[in-house]
Structure formats: C-alpha cells, structure tokens
Amino acid sequence: MMELKSLECFGIKHAWQVPLICPVEIEDYTNIVTEFSKAYQLSGHKIVIAGKLVSAPSFNWVRGKGVLTIELFDDLGYLLSIKLFGDTKLIEESLAEVGSTYYFKGVSFANGAYLNLRAAKLISSADIGKYVPIYKSKRGYLSKEQVREVIRKQLPCTLNQAEKHLREVIKWVPNIRQVLKTKKMTLKDVLTELHNPSSVELWEEARGVIKRIAALYCIREMNALNPREPNKLVNSLHGLPINVLKEKIPFELTTEQTQIVESITNKFKEGTKVDGALIGDVGTGKTVVYGICAASVVSAGGRAAIMLPSQTLAEQIHEELNSYFGSLKPALVTLETEQTNLEETNFLIGTSALLHRRVGVLDLVVVDEQHRFGLEQRELLLSENTHFLEATATPIPRTQALISYGNSKHIFRLTKCHAKKEITTKLRLKSESHALMKECLNQVELGNKVLVVCPTKDNSENFASVEEVFTKWNKFARNKVRYIHSGCSPDHNRKSIADIKSGKASILISTTMVEIGLTIPRLTKTIIYHAERFGTITCHQIRGRLVRHGGKGQLDLYCPTEIGEKSLQRLLLLTKFDDGYELAEQDMILRGFGDIVKASDLSQSGSTKSILIDEKVEVSDVEEILSTLENTN
C-alpha cells in the first residue's frame, strides 16, 4: 500500500490503475558494445557499453562545477573516459569495485586517439539484455527510475484488476480485434508487453492497442455522457414574434444572427429541447443573439437565467439587455444581491452568485464565456427539461470533442463580424524587446492605445508583473501609462480604465482581468508577457480586445525566457489560426479531449484526463475508430 500511495501524485486512487501508467518509450539494452574499437567507429551514435573499472573514480572541481571522471577499459586494453557532472555521490558509491564490469549508455565521441562517452548514464546490470520501459517523472515527487520501481513491484498484484476493467471498456465493441488492430494479443498480453517488453515491435503494438482502448473509452463516454437527447420534447414556449423582439434592438441584426435566433426560438416553440453551443468570436454578436432568445422565453411566461464570469461583465450585459427588454424586468444578481429567494423572478442576469441563490426551475440557462466556469458550475442551474446554451469564442477541448464527435450538441456558429478587422499575431523573443518598445511608442504617437498583459500582479513570482512592467514602461511614456489588477481598489481600476478610454492615458498594464468585457477605443497593439504561461483560449480572448470597431491590430506573444516544445506548439497555433472555432479544434488535437467523464474518479493530472494515466488520447485514434465502427455497422 505504501508503494501505491506514492503514485497519488499521478492521480492514482485504485490499484487497478497502476498498469495504466504508460511508458513513454523503451530503452534497448540488448545490444552491448564490449570492444571499444567499435565504439570508436560509432562516434556520434547512442550506444550501451560494458567495460572494466580501471581505478576508483576521481572527483574534482572544474570552473566551479563538480566533475566525476570514470575510466573503463575493454578486454583488449583500450581506454574509454566518462565525465559526469552535478551530484554524483550515489554513482561514485555504486562504482566500488575496481576491475569489475560496469555498464553505461551515452553518445560515443572519438577525437583522435581519445574516446569518451558523452551524456553518460550508469545502467544496472539487472537491466542488461532487456528492453526497459521509461516512464514520466513527477517533478518534486518521483524520478523516472522511482516510478518504474514502484510499477515493477505493483504490477503482479494489479495486472488482473486492470485487465478486468479494460474488458468492461471494450465489451460493447463489435469486431474488437479489427478496431484495436491486433490479431493475437490478449488484454493481459498488452499490459505485460507494455511494462515488460520482449521486443520493440511488440511494445509498440501494445502501446497502440492501449491508446485505442483509451479512445474507445472516450467515445463510449461521449455517447453516454449527455442524457438530454437533442430531440427530447419539453413544454413548448410561444414568445413574442422575433420581428417584435428585433425591433427593440437599436441596430440591424445580420442575416446570420437572425437565422440563429429563429432556429433556437423555433425549437422553443416546437418543444424540442436545446442543448447547444453558441460559438462566435468577439464582435460577431453573441450577446444580442442569446439576449433575444432569453427574452423570447420570458415573454412566453417562462424563466431564463444568464450566467457570466465577472461582476463587471454581468453589469454590462444587464445594462445592455435592460435597455432592449426593460419591460421584461431583467434582474441583476451578484454577490452584493441581498435577496436570496429569486424563484418569482423570471429574467435573471448574474455571476456565479446565481448558484448560491434559490432560483427555482428555469426554462433556459445561458452560460457566457464557458471556459471560465467548471463543468459542475455550468450545469448546476439545470433541471431535466431546461434548455441549455453555452456561449464562447473558443470551446474548451472537452466541449469541442462533444461538438465534433458527440451525438447531443446543437451547434450555432456566428462567423460574421460587424466591423472589418485584420489582426496579426507574432511570437516575439527577448532579443526583440527594444523593437517591441519602439513599435508601442510609435502607436502611442499615432494616437492609438497599447495593452500589456502580465501573468502576475506583483513581484511575488519570477515573472514579469503588472507593477514591475508599469514602473519600467512609465519611464518611456511618462504619465501615459496606467495599470490595473485585482489587488487594486475598485476606484483605482475604474479611474485607470476611464483614463485609457478618454485618451488621457495610452498604455494599460493589466493581468487577465481584461480578458473579457472591456472595450478600449483605438486599441491596435497588445503584448502578452510570458505568453507561455497563458492558455490558448485566454490568449485568443485577449486578442479579441484589439480593434473592436475595425481596423488593423497586432498581438505579440512575448517570451523573454526559454520555453518548452509543448508551449511553443501551442503558441504557434495562435499565429496560424485567428478563428476561434478553428483554434479550438487545433487546440483539441494538440492537447487531447480533457476530462470527458463527469465526476469521475479516473481524473488525474496531465493535459488529458481519461482511463489512461497522464496520457493524451489522440484525436486521430478517435476519428479512425469512429470510421471503423461506422463501416462495420
């Protein structure tokens, strides 16, 4: 049990989950170089060597760094040198017997008569002749070697349990071997080869099978997830004619907006339950669409609630919809709302404070900026017969998966902006910092505005903070810079935003509190400091603040420090895709689906949460399996 407890950092809660921690690769320790002349010929290649220890390793300090020098010789007397850096105490203790054979892996490097092994690592003699699985580490908890050792000890008593659970996952699938692409492997074979591989080919086959089982699990959950069938009948709601509601709007709706409003309200009239996503970038007019839909429900004697992620946005949307549909008496609900019983109020617009009030049974629930709410929050207001509409510019991967592959979502897409925009997105590095500052100052001279978004509000972390950046930028544009963040007083933030909007100031430094609900006139340039610290959706929402009324703008994803490969891939998506829906699809492909299961005890850390532990479910696997299943039906 102690070993199992050590895996809690992976999200492991049950013994049967242990075999579902997948190795990310295997090391081949079956081909050992024992003649150093061959290692010389393989210069520049990864090899595993065996040699006898010439003498006790020597430790020295070189330019402030600890270096452990190890010398090995082969049976012909050829010498090979290994230098290890850092904390080498345990390795030094392991090399205790002069004349004994030790094994190392690394990159052979020959220079004249000199031969050494670079990036060397000591290998246990117990692993020689085997294919050794390599697992992800958990920083601050377990090293790769420790994860492997725990799994090795736990595997004999957990493998049968895992096999039983996987059998439940696949029992509904016809022609299972065709779907899993395996002719002979049993589930026990798959799990055994995954952790104790007998060959590279069989390990790759086992890993492919287990990942396709994970994809099947996601498909099963997506199909079973939402009991609210798209054609389920509920009470019909005949509200005011759409033309009457449109007349209350002080501008003309686009053809696209009108078509979506009619589509949704027709379903209300037919009594067909709506479970949908309203998808559209900033400026496409999502608010007026869901506002008319809510007004239609209320005018029919029904009850509607619109939930928004912040008080500022709730106040803004309430003010807007109240100006259109004041006769329907929309009520604003925030933390400051004293009334707790709202069951007699038919039109509710508020923050998550709605979740802490008695709102009664609702006919329509709209959740705007869905990515700012958790799954359970988004569905707490629903009853069995409630129409549900999620509004977003970029669906989170879980919702995108249900849209693309589930069988229950109504999709309503807005693609036309009221104003013509041209926004460029660039990845910028530290070497471009001076050029960036010059570009921003040029925009200020032209009478435009600049927004700078930072990951932190103060200097408590080792990243550019709002206060630090404000101090720096104020030296270059004195009295033209303002800052806001959640730690400032409401009066300070209101005054700063007012100064920016009026033109008294031209540069605003902020946290992500500007992500939604803020319009800055003539905003043509936005910089996101340490962009790798932000999610794809957040960056796209911030991009949506640019040139709200049309024109050209630029988003700069500024990365002053080195970034990882995954972060780089995610940021490059933003430079290639400016449509929120397309971006969400690409983000889903990159990150996986997210946690498909509601209230699941299978949840674990990692980019994708599924039956596999810390392992991404490939969208390509899901698409291929769905195609196979369709062709076999």
Segments making up each domain of the chain, as ranges: 31-128, 242-408, 421-578
Average pLDDT over residues 405-430: 82
- Please name the amino acid found at residue 130: K
Extract the tokens encoding 492: 């300070």
- Dihedral over alpha carbons 588, 592, 596, 602 (to 10 degrees): -160
Question: Which CATH code fits 242-408?
Answer: 3.40.50.300
Residue 397 has pLDDT above 70, yes or no: no
H or E element: which one contains 454?
Answer: none
Q: Is the dihedral of CA 254, 260, 263, 265 positive or negative?
A: negative
**Tokens, residue 438:** 């010059």
pLDDT of residue 253: 92
Residue 517: CA count within 13 A, CB half-sphere: 18
Closest to 273 (Cα-Cα) out of 366, 388, 411: 388
Residue listed under structure tokens 């996987």: 166
Q: Does 541 have pLDDT greater than 90?
A: no
Mean pLDDT over each residue of the chain, to the nearest integer: 87
Q: How many CB atoms lie within 10 A of CB 378?
A: 18
Radius of gyration of the chain (CA): 30
Residue type, 98: V
Helix axes 580-591, 397-405, angle to 10 degrees: 100
Choose among 172, 208, 311, 264: nearest CA to 629. 172
Note the pLDDT of residue 515. Answer: 74
Nearest to 381 by CA among 352, 344, 402, 403: 352
Superfamily (CATH) of domain 31-128:
Nucleic acid-binding proteins (2.40.50.140)
When comparing pLDDT for 447 and 280, which is higher?
447
> How many angstroms separate the CA atoms of 211 and 229, rounded?
29
What phi, psi does 138 have (nearest 5°)? -125, 105
- Exposed, middle or buried, 208 (CB in 10 Å: 0-12/13-18/19+)? middle
Rounded to whole angstroms, the Cα distance separating 204 from 24 reads 10
Averaged pLDDT for residues 101-116: 91
Report CA-CA distances (Å) from 522 to 319, 433, 543. Answer: 23, 23, 14
- pTM for the model stands at 0.60
Give residue 370's pLDDT. 62
Does the structure show a pLDDT above 60 at 403?
Answer: no
Is pLDDT of 407 > 70? no
pLDDT in tens, 544-595: 889 988 899 999 999 999 888 888 988 999 999 888 777 877 777 776 655 5
| β pairing state of 507-510 and 449-453 | parallel
d(CA 94, CA 116): 20
pLDDT at position 602: 37
Residue 116 has pLDDT above 80, yes or no: yes
Print the SS3 string covering 553-578: EEEEEEECCCCCHHHHHHHHHHHHCC
DSSP E strands: which ranges in 150-234? none
What digits encode the pLDDT tens for the residues 39-76?
989 999 999 999 999 999 999 888 888 899 999 999 89
Q: Which fold has domain 421-578?
A: Rossmann fold (3.40.50)
Strand partners, 413: 279
Name the pairing type of β-strands 65-73 and 79-85: antiparallel
Residue with tokens 């008569």: 113
| 3-state DSSP of 263-324 | HHHHHHHHCECCEEEEEECCCCCHHHHHHHHHHHHHHCCCCEEEECCCHHHHHHHHHHHHHH
Helix axes 397-405, 619-632, angle to 10 degrees: 20
Q: What is the 8-class DSSP label of residue 42? A: T
- What digits encode the pLDDT tens for the residues 269-279? 999 999 888 98
pLDDT confidence of residue 578: 84
Q: Count Cβ atoms within 10 A of the Cβ of residue 175 and give its class: 0-12 exposed, 13-18 middle, 19 or more buried.
A: exposed
pLDDT bucket at 500, cuts 50 / 70 / 90: very high
Between the alpha carbon of residue 433 and those of residues 73, 359, 439, 505, the distances in Å are 52, 51, 10, 22
Instruction: Answer whether 242-408 and 421-578 agree in fold.
Output: yes
Distance CA 539, CA 517 (A): 15
Residue 228 clears pLDDT 60, i.e. is over it: no
Reported as a single tens digit per residue, the pLDDT across 307-346 is 998 888 898 899 999 999 999 999 999 988 888 889 999 9
- Residue pair 331/345 in contact by the 8 Å Cβ criterion: yes
